[in-house]
Structure 1
Amino acid sequence: MTYLSMSLAAAFVLIALMLSTWQKLGMGKDIVIGTVRCTVQLLAIGYVLQFVFHSNHFGFIGALLLMMISVASWNASRRGARLKGIYWLIFASLSVTEIVTMGLMILLGLVTPIPQYLIPMSGMIIGASMIVCSLFITQMNQETASSRGEIEALLSLGATRRQAIQDVMKRSIKASMIPTFDTMKTIGLVQLPGMMTGMIIAGASPIEAVRYQILIMLIFSSAAAISAVMISLLSYRLWFTKDSMLRAEQVN
């Protein structure tokens, strides 16, 4: 695709802008900012990836993965802005998920440890895990608010913080994992995922593209479970004070 073709694709954004103006949605600014940021960020990362791929240096690969995890952690942590230290807990959860899943793939010989495989696959894993962590925090806030009386009753009866919030944690973990497994149930019937589509457009055999997509989806299932359980175990204490009282400001 040439830069001219990419510029002509701006017509699709104009459709969104016209519909927003017509319906008075007030989203014009968001659409423009989102379009500009998307274009600039993707072009920038394209040049960065080209440099990293050509250098084939693990130091650059590590730095890029660290940046991806940091940005993903910051984005997910906005769901729990009042939870002190949530950023670092999400960072730890995403890091463990990345190390376990990617390490297992390399150990089993499923991928070759070169930038062309490590970075794109890591990006998909980190992105999927970020969504899981974000959904978990959102659900925990809602569940804690709706179950406030139950949690406080358990605390008054001598339950520990973990015991009092255990059921809320379980429901939040399940809710954060549902989108991943719902996608797995309908993939290939409702949608053709991006990686598979990209490989086919690039000229790869559809069967080869499907094999890679199956690998990614199976990894997503593991990544969703690891990140959801990790963030739950690391963060549930943040919904309580040091005196094991439920934080009122977190559940309103």
Structure 2
Amino acid sequence: MPILSGLDALPRVLAALVLVIVAAGIAWWQKVDLERDIGVATVRSFVQLIAIGYILEAVFDTTNPLFIVLILMVMTTIAGYTAGQRGAGVPNARLVAGVAIAAGTLVTLGLLVGLRVFRFEARLIIPIGGMVIGNAMTTCGLVLARLRDEIKTTRTQIEAALALGATPRQSVAGQLRRVLKSGLLPVIDSTKIVGIIQLPGTMTGMILGGATPLAAVQTQIIVLYMLLGAAAFSALATALLGYRGFFSAAYQVQHVPQ
């Protein structure tokens, strides 16, 4: 199996490496002490991408649906752990993020497969699932971080609402709205500017791979709507699951970071 579709591709990779050398040169010139980091990042990205290329070659040949689900579960677990780190201070942040990402992925992919937009094949579901999971991970991380900050800064207001007879959900209704808005705005903004300021990755990749622009556009539209829906569902699930950890069974505020 030839690396990078043949040795004829290596000169192009080496040509692109010139830009890395330029970046390292700028870092050395400005004495920001990042030359080693740039070198390590370059080597790691090359090795990791070559490795994943070989892995995907093997994975895409599988027809076992359980294997596909297993890969998605591993990706979701890693994404939940990563998003949970962003939301440190929220009780059970990693579990909340993992469940929310899994729910968003299941609903989104289930709907697209059920409507026969995509076939349940490894070469389709794994890359698409990766996009959904990655996007949901970013959204969940933002939601958890904002939820933690909202609870921390408005604790007095929340406790006053509880003292007046409000339920935990009622006492944080305004905070949850702000949390959801902050989590969804980046996805909405990127959807607004697509095709005007930037050509998104799926469309660019398909065009570079030889697809017609219109075919690439059709697929990209599906992907954009898919990511927006997954982000909305994951953000909602994260907010609704996340706030509960800040309240005891006696409706008292607890575990608020100092």
Same fold (TM over 0.5): yes
Partner Cα separation in structure 1 for residue 124 and residue 185 of structure 2: 27
Q: 1:12 aligns with which of 19, 25, 28?
A: 19
Find the counterpart in structure 1 of residue 178 from structure 2: 171
Find the counterpart in structure 2 of residue 100 from structure 1: 107
Q: 2:207 aligns with which of 200, 203, 208?
A: 200
Q: 1:49 aligns with which of 56, 59, 67?
A: 56
Partner Cα separation in structure 2 for residue 163 and residue 119 of structure 1: 39
Report the CA distance shift for 1:140/1:35 in structure 2 as closer, same or farther (over 3 A): farther
Find the counterpart in structure 2 of residue 89 from structure 1: 96
Instruction: Tell me the TM-score normalised to structure 1 length.
Output: 0.90
- Cα deviations across residues 159-205 of structure 1 (Å, max 9, x unaligned)? 22222112111101111000111111110000000000000000001
Q: One-letter code of the match for 1:192?
A: L
Identical positions, percent: 35
Find the counterpart in structure 2 of residue 218 from structure 1: 225
Q: Is 1:120 matched with 2:127?
A: yes
Higher mean C-alpha displacement, 140-149 vs 31-40: 31-40
Gaps of at least 5 residues in structure 1 are none
Report the CA distance shift for 1:108/1:248 in structure 2 as closer, same or farther (over 3 A): closer
Report the CA distance shift for 1:241/1:204 in structure 2 as closer, same or farther (over 3 A): same
Partner Cα separation in structure 1 for residue 161 and residue 197 of structure 2: 44
Q: One-letter code of the match for 1:203?
A: G
Partner Cα separation in structure 2 for residue 59 and residue 111 of structure 1: 17
Find the counterpart in structure 1 of residue 242 from structure 2: 235
Asked whether the equivalents of residues 132 and 230 of structure 2 are also in contact (C-alpha less than 8 Å), the reply is yes
Gaps of at least 5 residues in structure 2 are none
Q: One-letter code of the match for 1:74?
A: Y
Return the offset for 1:107.
1.2
Partner Cα separation in structure 1 for residue 111 and residue 254 of structure 2: 39
RMSD value over aligned CA atoms? 2.1
Partner Cα separation in structure 2 for residue 212 and residue 62 of structure 1: 23
- Cα deviations across residues 75-131 of structure 1 (Å, max 9, x unaligned)? 111112333422122111111111111111111111122112111111111111111
Aligned pair count reads: 251
- Cα deviations across residues 196-225 of structure 1 (Å, max 9, x unaligned)? 000000000100000000001111121111
Asked whether the equivalents of residues 151 and 256 of structure 2 are also in contact (C-alpha less than 8 Å), the reply is no
